[in-house]
Amino acid sequence: MARRSRLDDSANLITVTVLNSTRIPRPRLRGQVALITGATRGIGLAIARALAAESCHLILSARDEKSLAKIGRELASPGIKILAHPCDVRDPHSVDALFRATRRQFKRLDILINNAGIAHPNLPIEKLPLPVWKDVLETNLTGTFLVTQAALAIMKRGSTIVNNLSIAANRVFAGSAAYNASKHGALGLTNTLREELRPRGIRVIALLPGATDTDIWTTLWPQAPRKTMMSPKTVAEAVVQAILLPPNATVESLEILPTAGTL
């Protein structure tokens, strides 16, 4: 609401006109550059949408090129630059290609969301195939390492890294040995990275969401009670709020659970 005053000299009166106005909140991350891996579905897609709503420029990455193109079109809007680039985070050459494209278009990176991850069917260790073990570890742990290592070359003071780890990073679930091990390892990597980057002023957030209604449950537990789960949007909103804190404050561990608790 605005007030406008006018002095009427003939009567020495001040006339005040009250103008009604609706203020549109200014996007809080306008002009910043964010890279999201695993950006075509689930929590990664929800975070991409939430960052786009704050006018972030986006680098969207995943293995499915068609889905990437579709999401890029969905999020495109005036004032937002979007680079949709396929990447297999397990492959160093693919990661290198992603960052060559990133440097060509943006030169820098302000926000990194390491979200790409996979699960495996519920199996005891004695029946867990070695190829499955390797694939999960290479995606969830090595992939986070490779992308982060490449990103640090173009991240400066005030930047933020968010690693999506799941509550499996500090709990264990029988039948999910490879998934548990990958997430425990990724938490160790995240905590080490935070200490190394403190002098550089780069924040590192460990995101530990509980049961969230995403496609990963099709692999983990097809019969899981999805009605009790959180939505990816809920998790994404919490992530954006953590990123928006002043540079001298860090949510080091962001654990979000359904009110009903673990499944």
Contact 43, 212 (CB under 8 A): yes
8 A C-beta contact, residue 119 and residue 166? no
Residue whose tokens read 């579905």? 41
Helical axes 177-197 vs 143-151, angle rounded to 10°: 20
Active-site position among 99, 106, 179, 221: 179
| Residue 179 annotated among the catalytic residues of the structure | yes
Residue 17: CB partners within 8 Å, gap ≥ 6? 3, 4, 5, 6
SS3 78: coil
- Pairing type for strands 82-86 and 253-256 reads unpaired
Token pair recorded at residue 260:
């009903």
Contact 155, 108 (CB under 8 A): yes
End-to-end CA distance of the chain: 48
Catalytic positions are: 179
